[in-house]
Amino acid sequence: MGRFRDALAAPGLGAIAEVKRRSPSAGDLRPDADAAALAKAFEESGAAAVSVLVDERFGGSFADLQGARAATSVPLLAKGFFRDQGDLLQCRIAGADAALLLLRELNDEQAGLMLEGGRTLGLDMLVEAHDAEELDRAVALGAEVIGVNARDLGTFAIDRTAQLELVARAPRDRVVVAESAIASRAQGAEAELAGADAILVGSALMRADDPAAKLADLLARPLVKICGLTRQEDVDAAAEAGADLAGFILAESPRRAEAPLPVPDTMLSVAVFVGERRDAGTDLVQHYPEESGHRARDGVLLRGGERVATVVDLPWLGEDEDHWERAAVVEGRILLAGGLGPGNVRPAVEAVRPWCVDASRSLEARPGVKDHARVRAFVDAVRSLEAVRS
């Protein structure tokens, strides 16, 4: 395995931060971008790798790649429309650890020669697919790193639903990168839960006032879930505060929602069931077994029926002084629930290091009605912890 593949295969969601001055679909993004300065800033903000456009149609050049190589030690991906091994040699000489292969531009024979050429030069290859046929081709060609682009480079249309379906279909023995149309933590998490090892983010960073800070924000963990939502104004307040997941209880509860409410692109919707569950049209399902007429202690977070995280909770209407210690030894992604609020979420996160934290009753003015100030305080407490870590 090469440096690029190794970096993306590390535990957790990785990010390839892209230096891109302009886009054929969006026009100028950051015409005065300093590739070297951005690459260094992206490394400091947690990028697993940095992508550098070397094609003049994107305002890029190989000089940008050379500048980035001099400024950072993270793996570098050269992006352009490469068609022969001479292009790959130029990428390697300029300092790239990996290069992009667009299957829409190459037949299988050409792509196979490029993959072999990359191996000879010590380059990892990011083999990009846009549809099911191209994904199957990438797999058959033996591509170790597969990018799934939500943007059709012919029409520039975005289809994130199709992208996520392809990410979920990709073999788990490959490193999978979700590319394009990721501008929020929730969208990154959605790709992660579908099976992506990493996300590639360009335009959202280049449009930001502070690209490195935007990258750090996209990667910030834990995510924040506000549960027990019953009113649209409370969903809106949670979104404005910066929460990532909106929970709608569809089981018997004083906080029961009639149905899931609309959420913005910055959030994922979660239907909460006890016992029997059904398709509620949400992005995720939080499911607890039923015990003696109420929820069991712990549950699971599901995407399309597949378990993607463990919900670690308190006993029903009970306490457990060892709750956080118990949660800390659970393997995999942890959604930590049970008595969390603005005052105790910081020590909970420090003790457990969960993927997501969940609060409901502690943020209420009365059952089913959120206190917006407490919602903001809860989200701020989590985000301030991330700021201290960085």
3-state secondary structure of 169: helix
What Rg value do the Cα atoms of the chain yield, rounded?
22
3-state secondary structure of 314: coil
* Residue 222, preceding peptide bond in cis (omega within 30° of 0): yes
Q: Where are the alpha helices (DSSP H) in 195-229?
A: 203-207, 211-219
- What is the maximum alpha-carbon separation in the chain? 69
Burial-class residue 155 by CB neighbours within 10 Å (0-12, 13-18, 19+): exposed
Active site amino acids: 18, 20, 79, 128, 149, 179-180
Task: Name the helix (H) or strand (E) containing 187.
Answer: helix 185-194
Q: Which two tokens stand for residue 341?
A: 């609020």
Give buried/exposed letters for 287-301 (b at 16+ CB in 10 A, else e).
bbeeeeeebbbbbbb
Q: Is residue 117 a contact partner of residue 85, using CB atoms and an 8 Å limit?
A: yes
Residue matched to tokens 């919707």 = 269
Return the amino acid letter for 389.
R
DSSP state of 284: E
Q: Where are the alpha helices (DSSP H) in 220-342?
A: 232-241, 323-328
142: left (phi over 0), alpha (psi -120 to 50) or beta: left
3-state secondary structure of 255: coil
Q: Is residue 205 a contact partner of residue 176, using CB atoms and an 8 Å limit?
A: no
